[in-house]
């Protein structure tokens, strides 16, 4: 995380403030009124604490670094009975237990000098509060029992509530991510909200649904079998977390290897230093600005990283590696050579297509290739040193008749005006 994001925008501040107020209210209320069912509060608090501790070994690409903590907290929010007996804790006690568990779990982290990510803690607190506020008052008033009974309909009701909670979480997460794209005080328009939300919603099918399912099953399992159900139900979720972690690890390695392959043209002296990385970062920002999400963004990033790989086949380097200044036929030949290399790398075949078509006139290109072409030209032109960023943009605008798509160039201008590159969530 770059220091630029360290100062939160108004949206992030609002979320954190709300979470802080809620936690304070929950703790105060619980201290004032005393703890209902202390055994259960302790058991769930311990579960959440242990689950949150798992954040430690988290890799950068993980979407939910503490699934056990999330599932435990959701289960406590939706806990209506235990071992057949009804429970009596209210929504505020749920908030208090979660806040206390988060505090305890952050002690070792604080001791090491790096605090927990405030945004994630706030998000977890708000999401769980949403579930608890939807369920606990209804249950404690006896309405739940009257409407749904204690059978399959009750289970379906819990699942429905969890679905709503997941949606609420996705909305919050997208809001926080988007807030990070803007430095505080910037007046430029922030990145559009839609793509962030779409990404978050898509991610729900992964670990998100496993967390929700485990949360529901824990609530039901404890209702049917008592607290012994908790450790037994942790095991499958831990397995899921392990799989996700391994997947994130191999994915990180894979990205590193692709980046190395992309950097080889720089070391060979074909392209200027840092060119591939800069083009990849700008391309993803522009892609997000234009509404690309998920796998489309990944393809775009990969293609941008490897767009110059075809130059390895040249016996002599192009001056400064600036392919944008070569004759069109030569550009296309290098693009085709690059596509041939990319096809061997085992990445998505769409990446090779983008690399192959990067030098075509924009009307014949897929959108990703248009973005790569414009951004590559921008970086090449900036590197010339004569015109600088503004001159480079001007030249791109002059080329919108044939080479560069006007919308792409305008998106690029907006991204540059914002002065910040959009972070790409992994996974």
Partner 1 sequence: MKATRGAVRAHIGAVALGAALCASPALSPGAGTPWATLGLLAGLCLACELPGRFPFFSGSGPIGAGSFFPLLLTAALLLPPPAAALVAVPGSLVGRVDKPPAAARRIWRAAELALAVWAAARVHTLLGGPAALGGPAPGSPPDLPYALLPVCAATLAFSAVLALLDGSILLVAEHLPARRAWRGLLTRSLGPHLVHGLAGLMMAVLWNSSYGPPAALVVLLPMYISGWVFAQYHREHAAHRATIRALVQAVDIKDTYTRGHSERVGRASVLIAQELGMDRERVEVLRFAGILHDVGKLGVPTRVLRKDGPLTPEERRVIELHPEYGHEIVRGIGFLGEARAAILHHHERLDGSGYPYGLSGRGIPECARVVAVADAFDAMTSTRSYRRGRPVPVAVEELKRCAGTQFDPRMVRALARGLERHGWFGAVTADDTQLPPPRDAESAGPVPAPLSPRPDGTEGEGPR
Output 183-190 pairs: Cβ under 8 A, ≥24 positions apart.
183/4, 183/5, 183/7, 183/419, 183/420, 184/7, 184/8, 184/9, 186/418, 186/419, 186/420, 188/414, 188/417, 188/418, 188/419, 189/414, 189/418, 190/418
SS3 129: helix
Of the residues 269, 274, 388, 389, which one makes contact with partner 1 according to CB under 8 A: 269
Query: CB of residue 120 vs partner 1: minimum separation in angstroms?
Result: 21
* Nearest CB to partner 1, comparing residues 107 and 249: 249
SS3 179: helix
Q: Does 276 bind partner 1 (CB under 8 A)?
A: no
Query: CB of residue 115 vs partner 1: minimum separation in angstroms?
Result: 25
CA atoms within 13 A on the CB side of 98: 35
**Continuous H helices in 307-398:** 328-343, 349-356, 367-383, 388-398
Mark residues 66-95: x for contact with partner 1 by CB under 8 A, - for none.
Answer: -----------------xx-----------
How many chain residues touch partner 1 (CB under 8 A)? 67
* Nearest CB to partner 1, comparing residues 164 and 232: 232
* Nearest CB to partner 1, comparing residues 130 and 154: 154
Vertex 182 angle, CA 180 and 185, to 5°: 125
Of the residues 24, 189, 232, 349, which one makes contact with partner 1 according to CB under 8 A: 232
Contact indicator for 258, 348 with CB cutoff of 8 Å: no
Site for partner 1 in 32-71 (CB under 8 A): none
Q: Does 209 bind partner 1 (CB under 8 A)?
A: yes
Query: CB of residue 355 vs partner 1: minimum separation in angstroms?
Result: 12
Q: Does 207 bind partner 1 (CB under 8 A)?
A: yes
Dump the DSSP string for 198-253: HHHHHHIIIIIHHHHHHHHHHHHHHHHH-TTHHHHHHHHHHHHHHHHHHHHHHHHH
Give the number of other Cβ atoms within 10 Å of residue 352's Cβ.
22
Mark residues 151-170: x for contact with partner 1 by CB under 8 A, - for none.
Answer: xx-xxx--x-----------
* Nearest CB to partner 1, comparing residues 47 and 217: 217
Q: Does 333 bind partner 1 (CB under 8 A)?
A: no
Of the residues 235, 327, 329, 386, which one makes contact with partner 1 according to CB under 8 A: 235
Q: Does 286 bind partner 1 (CB under 8 A)?
A: no
> For residue 412, what are its two tokens?
């690029």
SS3 174: helix
Q: Which of 285, 280, 281 is nearest to 182 (CA)?
A: 285
* Nearest CB to partner 1, comparing residues 206 and 406: 206
| Residues engaged in binding partner 1 (CB under 8 A) | 83-84, 150-152, 154-156, 159, 206-207, 209-210, 213-214, 216-217, 220-221, 223-226, 228-229, 232-233, 235-237, 239-240, 242-244, 246-247, 250-254, 256-261, 263-265, 267-269, 309, 312-317, 341-342, 344-347
């Amino acid at each position: 995380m770059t220091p630029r994001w360290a100062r939160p925008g108004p949206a992030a501040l609002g979320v954190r403030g709300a979470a802080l107020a809620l936690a304070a209210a929950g703790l105060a209320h619980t201290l004032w009124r005393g703890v209902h069912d202390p055994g259960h509060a302790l058991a769930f608090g311990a579960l959440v604490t242990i689950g949150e501790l798992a954040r430690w070994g988290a890799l950068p690409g993980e979407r939910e670094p503490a699934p056990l903590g999330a599932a435990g907290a959701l289960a406590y929010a939706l806990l209506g009975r235990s071992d057949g007996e009804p429970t009596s804790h209210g929504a505020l006690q749920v908030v208090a237990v979660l806040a206390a568990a988060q505090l305890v779990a952050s002690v070792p982290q604080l001791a090491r000098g790096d605090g927990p990510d405030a945004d994630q803690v706030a998000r977890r607190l708000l999401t769980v509060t949403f579930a608890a506020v939807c369920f606990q008052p209804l249950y404690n008033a006896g309405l739940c029992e009257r409407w749904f009974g204690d059978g399959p309909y009750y289970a379906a009701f819990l699942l429905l509530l969890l679905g709503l909670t997941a949606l609420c979480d996705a909305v919050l997460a997208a809001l926080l991510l988007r807030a990070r794209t803007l430095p505080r005080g910037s007046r430029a328009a922030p990145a559009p909200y839609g793509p962030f939300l779409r990404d978050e919603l898509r991610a729900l099918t992964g670990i998100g649904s496993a967390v929700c399912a485990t949360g529901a099953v824990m609530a039901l399992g404890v209702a049917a079998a008592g607290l012994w159900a908790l450790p037994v139900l942790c095991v499958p979720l831990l397995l899921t977390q392990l799989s996700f972690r391994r997947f994130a690890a191999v994915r990180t390695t894979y990205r590193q290897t692709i980046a190395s392959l992309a950097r080889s043209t720089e070391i060979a002296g074909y392209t200027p230093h840092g060119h591939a990385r800069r083009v990849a970062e700008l391309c993803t920002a522009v892609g997000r600005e234009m509404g690309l999400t998920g796998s489309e963004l990944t393809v775009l990033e990969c293609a941008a990283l490897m767009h110059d790989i075809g130059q390895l086949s040249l016996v002599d380097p192009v001056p400064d590696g600036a392919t944008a200044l070569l004759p069109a036929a030569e550009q296309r030949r290098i693009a085709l050579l690059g596509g041939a290399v990319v096809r061997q790398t085992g990445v998505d075949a769409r990446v090779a297509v983008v690399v192959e078509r990067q030098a075509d006139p924009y009307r014949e290109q897929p959108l990703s290739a248009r973005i790569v072409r414009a951004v590559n030209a921008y970086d090449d032109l900036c590197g010339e040193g004569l015109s600088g960023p503004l001159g480079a943009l001007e030249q791109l605008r002059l080329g919108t008749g044939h080479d560069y798509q006007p919308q792409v160039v305008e998106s690029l201008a907006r991204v540059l005006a914002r002065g910040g590159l959009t972070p790409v969530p992994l996974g």
